[in-house]
Amino acid sequence: MINFQYARAMDVADAVRQIAARPNAKFIAGGTNLLDLIKENVERPSWLIDVSRLPLTQIDQTAGGGLRIGAMVPNSDLAYHPLVEQRYPLLSSATLAGASAQLRNMASVGGNLMQRTRCMYFYDTATPCNKRSPNSGCSAIEGMNRNLAILGTSGSCIATHPSDMCVALAALEARVHLKGPAGDRTLPFSDFHRLPGDTPQRDTNLDTHEIITAIELPPRGFADNYSYLKIRDRLSYAFALVSVAAALEMEGNIIGEARLALGGVAHKPWRRPDVELALRGQAANEVNFARAADLLLQDARGYSHNAFKIGLARRAIVRALSQAARRTPQSQSNKKIA
Ligand SMILES: Cc1cc2nc3c(=O)[nH]c(=O)nc-3n(C[C@H](O)[C@H](O)[C@H](O)COP(=O)(O)OP(=O)(O)OC[C@H]3O[C@@H](n4cnc5c(N)ncnc54)[C@H](O)[C@@H]3O)c2cc1C
Ligand code: SF4
Protein backbone atom coordinates (compact mmCIF):
# COMPACT_ATOMS: atom_id res chain seq x y z
CA MET A 1 0.00 0.00 0.00
CA ILE A 2 1.37 3.41 -0.96
CA ASN A 3 1.39 6.42 1.34
CA PHE A 4 -1.20 9.09 0.61
CA GLN A 5 -2.68 12.11 2.33
CA TYR A 6 -6.38 12.49 3.05
CA ALA A 7 -8.70 15.50 3.08
CA ARG A 8 -12.47 15.74 3.29
CA ALA A 9 -14.31 18.13 0.96
CA MET A 10 -16.74 20.43 2.77
CA ASP A 11 -18.91 21.22 -0.26
CA VAL A 12 -18.82 20.74 -4.02
CA ALA A 13 -16.89 23.97 -4.68
CA ASP A 14 -14.38 22.93 -2.02
CA ALA A 15 -13.99 19.49 -3.68
CA VAL A 16 -13.16 21.15 -7.03
CA ARG A 17 -10.79 23.60 -5.32
CA GLN A 18 -8.99 20.81 -3.47
CA ILE A 19 -8.60 18.47 -6.47
CA ALA A 20 -7.16 21.36 -8.51
CA ALA A 21 -4.79 22.45 -5.75
CA ARG A 22 -3.41 19.06 -4.62
CA PRO A 23 -0.84 17.32 -6.82
CA ASN A 24 -1.85 13.87 -8.09
CA ALA A 25 -5.13 13.89 -6.14
CA LYS A 26 -8.17 11.62 -6.66
CA PHE A 27 -11.71 11.81 -5.37
CA ILE A 28 -12.83 8.92 -3.21
CA ALA A 29 -16.53 8.13 -2.71
CA GLY A 30 -17.50 4.60 -1.57
CA GLY A 31 -13.96 3.39 -2.25
CA THR A 32 -15.15 0.01 -3.58
CA ASN A 33 -13.09 0.30 -6.77
CA LEU A 34 -10.44 2.90 -5.96
CA LEU A 35 -9.13 1.20 -2.81
CA ASP A 36 -8.68 -2.10 -4.70
CA LEU A 37 -6.76 -0.25 -7.40
CA ILE A 38 -4.52 1.42 -4.80
CA LYS A 39 -3.88 -1.92 -3.08
CA GLU A 40 -2.95 -3.47 -6.44
CA ASN A 41 -0.57 -0.56 -7.13
CA VAL A 42 -2.52 0.40 -10.25
CA GLU A 43 -3.55 3.82 -8.89
CA ARG A 44 -0.94 5.76 -6.88
CA PRO A 45 -2.62 9.00 -5.74
CA SER A 46 -0.71 11.33 -3.41
CA TRP A 47 -3.97 12.74 -2.05
CA LEU A 48 -7.45 11.32 -1.57
CA ILE A 49 -10.21 13.96 -1.49
CA ASP A 50 -13.16 12.37 0.29
CA VAL A 51 -16.40 13.40 -1.40
CA SER A 52 -18.61 10.85 0.36
CA ARG A 53 -20.15 13.43 2.72
CA LEU A 54 -21.08 15.96 0.05
CA PRO A 55 -24.76 16.93 -0.01
CA LEU A 56 -25.37 15.08 -3.28
CA THR A 57 -27.57 12.32 -1.88
CA GLN A 58 -30.98 13.53 -3.02
CA ILE A 59 -33.24 12.14 -5.71
CA ASP A 60 -35.57 14.94 -6.83
CA GLN A 61 -38.16 15.47 -9.55
CA THR A 62 -37.09 18.09 -12.08
CA ALA A 63 -39.27 20.94 -13.35
CA GLY A 64 -39.29 19.23 -16.75
CA GLY A 65 -40.81 16.03 -15.34
CA GLY A 66 -37.62 13.99 -15.06
CA LEU A 67 -35.48 12.97 -12.10
CA ARG A 68 -32.20 14.38 -10.79
CA ILE A 69 -30.06 11.86 -8.95
CA GLY A 70 -27.21 13.18 -6.78
CA ALA A 71 -23.79 11.68 -7.53
CA MET A 72 -23.39 10.43 -3.94
CA VAL A 73 -26.65 8.45 -3.86
CA PRO A 74 -25.68 4.88 -2.92
CA ASN A 75 -26.49 2.28 -5.58
CA SER A 76 -28.97 0.53 -3.27
CA ASP A 77 -30.82 3.77 -2.43
CA LEU A 78 -31.12 4.44 -6.15
CA ALA A 79 -32.44 0.97 -6.96
CA TYR A 80 -35.06 0.98 -4.18
CA HIS A 81 -36.17 4.62 -4.45
CA PRO A 82 -39.95 4.59 -5.05
CA LEU A 83 -39.77 7.05 -7.97
CA VAL A 84 -37.03 5.01 -9.65
CA GLU A 85 -38.86 1.73 -9.06
CA GLN A 86 -42.12 3.14 -10.41
CA ARG A 87 -40.97 5.36 -13.26
CA TYR A 88 -37.57 3.93 -14.29
CA PRO A 89 -37.69 0.23 -13.37
CA LEU A 90 -35.08 -0.50 -16.06
CA LEU A 91 -32.56 1.52 -14.04
CA SER A 92 -33.59 -0.14 -10.79
CA SER A 93 -33.25 -3.58 -12.36
CA ALA A 94 -29.84 -2.89 -13.91
CA THR A 95 -28.49 -1.47 -10.66
CA LEU A 96 -29.66 -4.54 -8.72
CA ALA A 97 -27.91 -6.77 -11.26
CA GLY A 98 -24.55 -5.27 -10.20
CA ALA A 99 -22.15 -6.40 -7.47
CA SER A 100 -23.58 -7.53 -4.11
CA ALA A 101 -25.93 -5.97 -1.56
CA GLN A 102 -22.98 -4.88 0.63
CA LEU A 103 -21.16 -3.29 -2.31
CA ARG A 104 -24.30 -1.54 -3.53
CA ASN A 105 -24.73 -0.02 -0.06
CA MET A 106 -21.23 1.51 -0.27
CA ALA A 107 -20.95 2.33 -3.97
CA SER A 108 -22.05 5.75 -5.22
CA VAL A 109 -23.71 6.62 -8.52
CA GLY A 110 -20.75 8.85 -9.56
CA GLY A 111 -18.27 6.10 -8.65
CA ASN A 112 -20.21 3.57 -10.71
CA LEU A 113 -19.79 5.73 -13.82
CA MET A 114 -16.08 6.13 -13.08
CA GLN A 115 -15.20 2.53 -12.21
CA ARG A 116 -12.30 1.10 -14.23
CA THR A 117 -12.26 -1.92 -16.51
CA ARG A 118 -12.02 -5.46 -15.14
CA CYS A 119 -9.46 -6.55 -17.76
CA MET A 120 -7.15 -8.80 -15.72
CA TYR A 121 -3.99 -7.29 -17.25
CA PHE A 122 -5.02 -3.81 -16.13
CA TYR A 123 -4.78 -5.08 -12.53
CA ASP A 124 -1.52 -7.01 -13.09
CA THR A 125 1.34 -4.51 -12.98
CA ALA A 126 3.80 -7.18 -14.18
CA THR A 127 2.20 -7.14 -17.66
CA PRO A 128 2.04 -4.49 -20.43
CA CYS A 129 -1.22 -2.55 -20.55
CA ASN A 130 -1.78 0.64 -22.55
CA LYS A 131 -4.62 1.72 -20.29
CA ARG A 132 -2.51 1.49 -17.13
CA SER A 133 0.80 2.46 -18.69
CA PRO A 134 0.39 4.24 -22.07
CA ASN A 135 2.44 2.84 -24.99
CA SER A 136 3.51 -0.27 -23.06
CA GLY A 137 1.37 -2.60 -25.24
CA CYS A 138 -1.84 -4.57 -24.79
CA SER A 139 -1.49 -8.04 -23.24
CA ALA A 140 -5.13 -8.94 -23.90
CA ILE A 141 -5.27 -8.79 -27.70
CA GLU A 142 -3.17 -11.95 -27.96
CA GLY A 143 -3.92 -13.09 -24.40
CA MET A 144 -6.86 -13.96 -22.15
CA ASN A 145 -9.64 -11.89 -23.68
CA ARG A 146 -12.74 -13.96 -22.90
CA ASN A 147 -14.40 -11.11 -20.96
CA LEU A 148 -13.34 -8.35 -23.29
CA ALA A 149 -14.84 -6.26 -26.07
CA ILE A 150 -16.22 -7.21 -29.47
CA LEU A 151 -17.33 -3.71 -30.54
CA GLY A 152 -15.53 -0.37 -30.81
CA THR A 153 -12.12 -1.88 -30.05
CA SER A 154 -8.78 -0.50 -31.23
CA GLY A 155 -5.29 -1.87 -31.76
CA SER A 156 -4.40 -0.30 -28.40
CA CYS A 157 -7.11 -1.72 -26.14
CA ILE A 158 -10.06 -4.14 -26.16
CA ALA A 159 -11.27 -3.52 -22.60
CA THR A 160 -14.94 -3.26 -21.61
CA HIS A 161 -16.66 -0.88 -19.23
CA PRO A 162 -18.03 -3.15 -16.50
CA SER A 163 -21.04 -1.19 -15.23
CA ASP A 164 -24.63 -2.41 -15.31
CA MET A 165 -26.21 0.86 -14.16
CA CYS A 166 -24.55 2.74 -17.04
CA VAL A 167 -26.16 0.47 -19.64
CA ALA A 168 -29.62 1.47 -18.41
CA LEU A 169 -28.59 5.14 -18.16
CA ALA A 170 -27.44 5.03 -21.78
CA ALA A 171 -30.73 3.49 -22.92
CA LEU A 172 -32.73 6.04 -20.94
CA GLU A 173 -30.76 8.94 -22.48
CA ALA A 174 -29.62 10.36 -19.16
CA ARG A 175 -27.45 13.47 -18.88
CA VAL A 176 -24.39 13.83 -16.65
CA HIS A 177 -23.98 17.05 -14.64
CA LEU A 178 -20.39 18.14 -14.00
CA LYS A 179 -18.69 20.93 -12.08
CA GLY A 180 -15.11 22.06 -12.60
CA PRO A 181 -12.85 25.09 -12.16
CA ALA A 182 -14.36 26.55 -15.36
CA GLY A 183 -17.95 26.14 -14.12
CA ASP A 184 -20.85 23.74 -14.66
CA ARG A 185 -21.68 21.73 -17.78
CA THR A 186 -23.74 18.70 -18.77
CA LEU A 187 -22.98 15.87 -21.17
CA PRO A 188 -25.37 13.46 -22.86
CA PHE A 189 -24.70 10.03 -21.37
CA SER A 190 -23.54 8.69 -24.74
CA ASP A 191 -20.72 11.28 -24.77
CA PHE A 192 -19.53 10.61 -21.22
CA HIS A 193 -17.56 7.38 -21.78
CA ARG A 194 -15.04 7.09 -24.61
CA LEU A 195 -13.94 4.42 -27.04
CA PRO A 196 -10.28 3.41 -26.54
CA GLY A 197 -8.81 4.68 -29.84
CA ASP A 198 -5.14 5.37 -29.26
CA THR A 199 -5.74 6.93 -25.82
CA PRO A 200 -7.18 4.01 -23.81
CA GLN A 201 -5.87 5.56 -20.60
CA ARG A 202 -8.84 8.00 -20.84
CA ASP A 203 -12.10 6.23 -19.98
CA THR A 204 -14.31 9.32 -20.02
CA ASN A 205 -14.62 12.90 -21.25
CA LEU A 206 -14.54 14.24 -17.69
CA ASP A 207 -11.93 17.02 -17.63
CA THR A 208 -9.13 17.03 -15.08
CA HIS A 209 -10.43 18.51 -11.81
CA GLU A 210 -14.11 18.08 -12.72
CA ILE A 211 -16.55 16.28 -10.42
CA ILE A 212 -19.79 14.52 -11.32
CA THR A 213 -22.56 16.21 -9.34
CA ALA A 214 -25.70 14.50 -10.66
CA ILE A 215 -27.38 12.35 -13.29
CA GLU A 216 -30.56 13.65 -14.88
CA LEU A 217 -33.21 11.35 -16.33
CA PRO A 218 -35.67 12.63 -18.95
CA PRO A 219 -39.41 12.24 -18.29
CA ARG A 220 -39.76 9.16 -20.50
CA GLY A 221 -39.09 6.12 -18.30
CA PHE A 222 -40.38 3.13 -20.33
CA ALA A 223 -41.96 1.82 -17.13
CA ASP A 224 -44.29 -0.68 -18.84
CA ASN A 225 -42.16 -2.43 -21.45
CA TYR A 226 -38.56 -2.94 -20.36
CA SER A 227 -36.05 -5.63 -19.46
CA TYR A 228 -32.45 -5.69 -18.21
CA LEU A 229 -30.94 -9.04 -19.11
CA LYS A 230 -27.47 -9.80 -17.75
CA ILE A 231 -25.63 -12.92 -18.90
CA ARG A 232 -22.70 -13.86 -16.65
CA ASP A 233 -20.73 -16.85 -15.42
CA ARG A 234 -22.49 -16.92 -12.01
CA LEU A 235 -26.00 -15.84 -11.12
CA SER A 236 -24.76 -13.08 -8.81
CA TYR A 237 -21.62 -11.19 -7.91
CA ALA A 238 -20.15 -11.42 -11.40
CA PHE A 239 -19.60 -8.89 -14.15
CA ALA A 240 -21.57 -9.19 -17.40
CA LEU A 241 -20.33 -11.22 -20.32
CA VAL A 242 -23.14 -9.53 -22.21
CA SER A 243 -26.00 -7.43 -20.91
CA VAL A 244 -28.94 -5.81 -22.67
CA ALA A 245 -31.09 -2.88 -21.61
CA ALA A 246 -34.25 -2.98 -23.72
CA ALA A 247 -37.10 -0.46 -23.48
CA LEU A 248 -40.12 -0.12 -25.72
CA GLU A 249 -43.26 1.96 -26.06
CA MET A 250 -45.96 -0.22 -27.59
CA GLU A 251 -49.07 0.64 -29.57
CA GLY A 252 -50.81 -2.72 -29.55
CA ASN A 253 -48.24 -5.05 -31.05
CA ILE A 254 -46.49 -2.25 -32.94
CA ILE A 255 -43.33 -0.62 -31.58
CA GLY A 256 -43.83 3.14 -31.12
CA GLU A 257 -40.44 3.86 -29.59
CA ALA A 258 -37.41 1.68 -28.81
CA ARG A 259 -34.21 1.94 -26.77
CA LEU A 260 -31.49 -0.67 -26.80
CA ALA A 261 -28.06 -0.63 -25.13
CA LEU A 262 -25.49 -3.36 -24.57
CA GLY A 263 -23.05 -3.87 -21.71
CA GLY A 264 -19.99 -6.12 -21.46
CA VAL A 265 -19.19 -5.76 -25.16
CA ALA A 266 -17.40 -2.40 -25.52
CA HIS A 267 -15.39 0.32 -23.79
CA LYS A 268 -18.70 2.12 -23.20
CA PRO A 269 -22.37 1.14 -23.18
CA TRP A 270 -23.09 0.30 -26.84
CA ARG A 271 -26.04 2.03 -28.43
CA ARG A 272 -27.02 2.83 -32.02
CA PRO A 273 -29.96 5.26 -32.39
CA ASP A 274 -30.37 4.20 -36.05
CA VAL A 275 -31.15 0.64 -34.92
CA GLU A 276 -33.77 1.97 -32.50
CA LEU A 277 -35.26 4.12 -35.27
CA ALA A 278 -35.48 1.07 -37.54
CA LEU A 279 -37.59 -0.72 -34.91
CA ARG A 280 -40.20 2.07 -34.87
CA GLY A 281 -43.42 1.10 -36.60
CA GLN A 282 -42.41 -2.58 -36.74
CA ALA A 283 -44.35 -5.48 -35.24
CA ALA A 284 -42.90 -6.80 -32.00
CA ASN A 285 -41.75 -10.24 -33.11
CA GLU A 286 -38.58 -12.32 -33.13
CA VAL A 287 -37.86 -11.71 -36.81
CA ASN A 288 -37.73 -7.94 -36.33
CA PHE A 289 -35.82 -8.27 -33.05
CA ALA A 290 -33.23 -10.52 -34.74
CA ARG A 291 -32.87 -7.96 -37.55
CA ALA A 292 -32.22 -5.23 -34.96
CA ALA A 293 -29.66 -7.49 -33.24
CA ASP A 294 -27.83 -8.12 -36.52
CA LEU A 295 -27.69 -4.39 -37.22
CA LEU A 296 -26.46 -3.56 -33.74
CA LEU A 297 -23.76 -6.24 -33.97
CA GLN A 298 -22.81 -5.74 -37.62
CA ASP A 299 -19.34 -4.37 -36.78
CA ALA A 300 -18.65 -6.91 -34.02
CA ARG A 301 -15.25 -8.62 -34.09
CA GLY A 302 -14.30 -11.59 -31.94
CA TYR A 303 -10.80 -12.25 -30.58
CA SER A 304 -9.25 -15.63 -29.74
CA HIS A 305 -11.40 -16.35 -26.66
CA ASN A 306 -14.45 -14.10 -26.97
CA ALA A 307 -15.98 -14.68 -30.41
CA PHE A 308 -18.77 -16.59 -28.65
CA LYS A 309 -20.03 -13.22 -27.37
CA ILE A 310 -21.34 -12.26 -30.81
CA GLY A 311 -23.88 -15.09 -30.93
CA LEU A 312 -24.58 -14.70 -27.23
CA ALA A 313 -25.31 -10.99 -27.64
CA ARG A 314 -27.58 -11.69 -30.62
CA ARG A 315 -29.66 -14.17 -28.61
CA ALA A 316 -29.70 -11.91 -25.55
CA ILE A 317 -30.96 -8.94 -27.58
CA VAL A 318 -33.83 -10.97 -29.04
CA ARG A 319 -34.72 -12.31 -25.59
CA ALA A 320 -34.58 -8.94 -23.84
CA LEU A 321 -36.70 -7.25 -26.51
CA SER A 322 -39.21 -10.11 -26.33
CA GLN A 323 -39.35 -9.79 -22.53
CA ALA A 324 -39.90 -6.04 -22.87
CA ALA A 325 -42.65 -6.45 -25.45
CA ARG A 326 -44.44 -9.09 -23.33
CA ARG A 327 -44.07 -7.07 -20.12
CA THR A 328 -42.15 -9.94 -18.51
CA PRO A 329 -38.87 -8.25 -17.51
CA GLN A 330 -35.93 -10.33 -16.37
CA SER A 331 -36.12 -10.65 -12.58
CA GLN A 332 -33.01 -9.70 -10.62
CA SER A 333 -34.42 -11.55 -7.57
CA ASN A 334 -32.85 -9.07 -5.17
CA LYS A 335 -35.21 -8.43 -2.29
CA LYS A 336 -34.65 -5.32 -0.23
CA ILE A 337 -32.61 -6.05 2.90
CA ALA A 338 -34.18 -4.07 5.73
C1 LIG B 1 -16.35 -7.54 -6.19
C2 LIG B 1 -17.02 -6.46 -6.97
C3 LIG B 1 -18.03 -6.77 -7.85
C4 LIG B 1 -18.67 -5.76 -8.58
N5 LIG B 1 -19.64 -6.09 -9.47
C6 LIG B 1 -20.24 -5.11 -10.22
C7 LIG B 1 -21.22 -5.41 -11.20
O8 LIG B 1 -21.57 -6.57 -11.41
N9 LIG B 1 -21.78 -4.38 -11.89
C10 LIG B 1 -21.41 -3.08 -11.69
O11 LIG B 1 -21.96 -2.17 -12.33
N12 LIG B 1 -20.46 -2.76 -10.79
C13 LIG B 1 -19.88 -3.75 -10.06
N14 LIG B 1 -18.91 -3.42 -9.15
C15 LIG B 1 -18.37 -2.09 -9.17
C16 LIG B 1 -18.99 -1.19 -8.17
O17 LIG B 1 -20.29 -0.89 -8.57
C18 LIG B 1 -18.10 0.05 -8.23
O19 LIG B 1 -16.93 -0.31 -7.54
C20 LIG B 1 -18.73 1.21 -7.57
O21 LIG B 1 -19.90 1.61 -8.27
C22 LIG B 1 -17.80 2.39 -7.48
O23 LIG B 1 -18.40 3.34 -6.65
P24 LIG B 1 -17.62 3.97 -5.42
O25 LIG B 1 -18.47 5.06 -4.89
O26 LIG B 1 -17.20 2.91 -4.46
O27 LIG B 1 -16.35 4.57 -6.20
P28 LIG B 1 -14.86 4.76 -5.67
O29 LIG B 1 -14.16 3.45 -5.62
O30 LIG B 1 -14.82 5.64 -4.47
O31 LIG B 1 -14.29 5.61 -6.90
C32 LIG B 1 -14.18 5.05 -8.18
C33 LIG B 1 -13.64 6.14 -9.12
O34 LIG B 1 -14.61 7.15 -9.28
C35 LIG B 1 -14.06 8.43 -9.00
N36 LIG B 1 -15.19 9.19 -8.47
C37 LIG B 1 -16.02 8.80 -7.47
N38 LIG B 1 -17.01 9.70 -7.33
C39 LIG B 1 -16.79 10.66 -8.26
C40 LIG B 1 -17.47 11.87 -8.63
N41 LIG B 1 -18.60 12.24 -8.02
N42 LIG B 1 -16.95 12.62 -9.63
C43 LIG B 1 -15.85 12.23 -10.28
N44 LIG B 1 -15.15 11.12 -9.97
C45 LIG B 1 -15.62 10.35 -8.98
C46 LIG B 1 -12.93 8.15 -8.05
O47 LIG B 1 -11.94 9.17 -8.10
C48 LIG B 1 -12.40 6.83 -8.59
O49 LIG B 1 -11.53 7.08 -9.67
C50 LIG B 1 -18.27 -4.42 -8.39
C51 LIG B 1 -17.26 -4.10 -7.48
C52 LIG B 1 -16.64 -5.10 -6.78
C53 LIG B 1 -15.55 -4.72 -5.82
S1 SF4 C 1 -7.39 -4.55 -23.16
FE2 SF4 C 1 -6.93 -2.49 -22.45
S3 SF4 C 1 -6.94 -2.74 -20.23
FE4 SF4 C 1 -6.66 -4.80 -21.10
S5 SF4 C 1 -4.43 -5.11 -21.34
FE6 SF4 C 1 -5.15 -4.25 -23.23
S7 SF4 C 1 -4.79 -2.05 -22.94
FE8 SF4 C 1 -4.81 -2.96 -20.91
Q: How far is the CA of 117 from the centre of ligand 2 (A)?
A: 9
Please tell me if the CB atom of residue 163 comes closer than 6 angstroms to any atom of ligand 1: yes
Looking at residue 337, its pLDDT comes to 46
Neighbours of 18 (CB within 10 A): 20
| Most informative mutation of 28, 91, 235 for ligand 1 (most atoms within 8 A of CB) | 28
CB 43 within 8 A of CB 33: no
Please tell me if the CB atom of residue 98 comes closer than 6 angstroms to any atom of ligand 1: yes
Find the ligand nearest to 126 CA.
2
Query: Rounded CA gap, 108 and 75, in Å?
Result: 6
Query: Rounded CA gap, 186 and 144, in Å?
Result: 37
Please tell me if the CB atom of residue 129 comes closer than 6 angstroms to any atom of ligand 2: yes
Q: How far is the CA of 113 from the centre of ligand 2 (A)?
A: 19
pLDDT in tens, 85-95: 999 999 999 99
Please tell me if the CB atom of residue 157 comes closer than 6 angstroms to any atom of ligand 2: yes
Q: How far is the CA of 107 from the centre of ligand 1 (A)?
A: 6
Please tell me if the CB atom of residue 71 comes closer than 6 angstroms to any atom of ligand 1: yes
Please tell me if the CB atom of residue 246 comes closer than 6 angstroms to any atom of ligand 2: no
Q: How far is the CA of 130 from the centre of ligand 2 (A)?
A: 6
Looking at residue 2, its pLDDT comes to 85
Sign (positive or negative) of CA dihedral 210, 207, 109, 30: negative
Looking at residue 52, its pLDDT comes to 98
3-state DSSP assignment of residue 216: strand
pTM comes to: 0.98
Please tell me if the CB atom of residue 276 comes closer than 6 angstroms to any atom of ligand 1: no
Looking at residue 336, its pLDDT comes to 56
Q: How far is the CA of 124 from the centre of ligand 1 (A)?
A: 19
Sign (positive or negative) of CA dihedral 134, 140, 146, 149: positive
Find the ligand nearest to 157 CA.
2
Intervals of the chain under pLDDT 50: 337-338
Protein residue whose Cα sits closest to atom 47 of ligand 1: 27
| Most informative mutation of 43, 121, 265 for ligand 2 (most atoms within 8 A of CB) | 121
Maximum Cα–Cα distance for the chain, whole Å?
61
CB 161 within 8 A of CB 264: no
| Most informative mutation of 33, 37, 78, 184 for ligand 1 (most atoms within 8 A of CB) | 33
Q: How far is the CA of 98 from the centre of ligand 1 (A)?
A: 11
Looking at residue 104, its pLDDT comes to 97
Instruction: Write out the DSSP string of 64-99.
Output: TS-EEEETT-BHHHHHH-HHHHHH-HHHHHHHHTSS
Ranges assigned E (strand) in the chain: 5-8, 25-28, 47-50, 59-61, 67-70, 175-180, 183-188, 211-217, 225-231, 242-251, 254-263
Choose among 118, 111, 124: nearest CA to 145. 118
Choose among 335, 69, 107: nearest CA to 221. 69
Looking at residue 37, its pLDDT comes to 98
Query: Rounded CA gap, 153 and 149, in Å?
Result: 7
Please tell me if the CB atom of residue 246 comes closer than 6 angstroms to any atom of ligand 1: no
Find the ligand nearest to 137 CA.
2
